[in-house]
Chain A
Amino acid sequence: EIVMTQSPATLSVSPGERATLSCRASQSVSSSYLSWYQQKPGQAPRLLMYGTSTRATGVPARFSGSGSGTEFTLTISSLQSEDFAVYYCQQYNNWPVTFGGGTKVEIK
C-alpha cells in the first residue's frame, strides 16, 4: 500500500498569510491521482482538490495544488478565517486508496 506522509503536522499562520502544506507518497502516484480534503471540527471532510490541481466545485481560487510523482503541495495564498481546519491528502492511484495523517492549520 502507498503510505502518505503530510508535513508539518501543525501549521500556525496569521490571517492573510500564505500557507504551504506538503504531502509525500512512499511510491510514485502516477498521472497525479491525488486529492485534498478539508475538515473542520465536528464536520465531515469536504473535497477541495482532485487530479492534484483541479479545484472542486465552489472552492475559492486562493486554494491551489501542485506536484507530481511522490511530492505534492496544497497552497492557500491568503488565509481567511474559514480556512483554519485540518487538511488531508489522498492518493487514488492504487488500491487501497490511502490518506495522509493530516495537517492542522491553526491561527497564529
Chain B
Amino acid sequence: QVQLVESGGGVVQPGKSLTLSCAASGFTFSSYGLHWVRQAPGKGLEWVAFISHGGNNVFSADSVKGRFTISRDDSKNSLSLQMNSLRVDDTAVYYCAKDYCPGGGCHGHYFDSWGQGTLVTVSS
C-alpha cells in the first residue's frame, strides 16, 4: 500500500531555513505528481506546492512563492520542500500528498494518499 513518511520538522527562528523530506513507497513514484499541503494549528488545509511527474512543472502558492522550493529525487523515491525566510505564519503541520493522476495529462489535482505530517514551528 502507499506510504508517505515526512521528516525534518522542528522549531526554527523567523528568517531561518528548514528542509522537509518525504519518503515514499508502495507505488511507482516516478509516475505521479506530488504535493505539499499544510495545516496551521486548529485551522484548515492549505495547498503549498506541486511538482509533476518528471519534475518539469512546479507550482507554488502565492503565500510561499520565492521562499519555498519543491523538488524530487526519483532515484530515491523522495520528495523535498526547501523552506527559506520562514515566518511565524508558516507554523503548521506539513503533509506530503500524492496526486491521483498517473503520468500527467489529467485535469486538476486532488490528493489520494497523505503522509502523517511533520510539524514546523517558527518562533523566536
Contacts and interface: CB of A to CB of B under 8 A. Distances in A.
Interface of A: 31, 33, 35, 37, 43-47, 50, 56, 88, 90, 92-93, 95-102
Contacts of A88: 44-45
B37 to A, nearest CB: 8
Nearest to A88: B45
Contacts of B117: 44
B110 A99 contact: no
A96 B61 contact: yes
Interface string B105-121: 00111111111110000
Most buried by A among B47, B109, B110, B116: B110
B36 interface: no
Contacts of B110: 35, 47, 50, 90, 92, 97
Contacts of B45: 37, 45, 88, 90, 99, 102
A99 B108 CA distance: 14
20 contacts: A31-B107, A33-B107, A33-B108, A35-B110, A37-B45, A43-B116, A45-B111, A46-B114, A47-B111, A50-B110, A50-B112, A56-B112, A88-B44, A90-B45, A97-B108, A97-B109, A97-B110, A98-B47, A99-B46, A100-B44
Interface of B: 44-47, 59, 61-62, 95, 100, 107-117
Contacts of B111: 35, 37, 45, 47, 90
A50 B101 CA distance: 12
Nearest to B35: A97
Per CB-CB distance, the 9 closest pairs between chain A and chain B, nearest first, are A92-B108, A44-B114, A35-B110, A99-B45, A33-B108, A101-B44, A102-B44, A92-B110, A97-B47
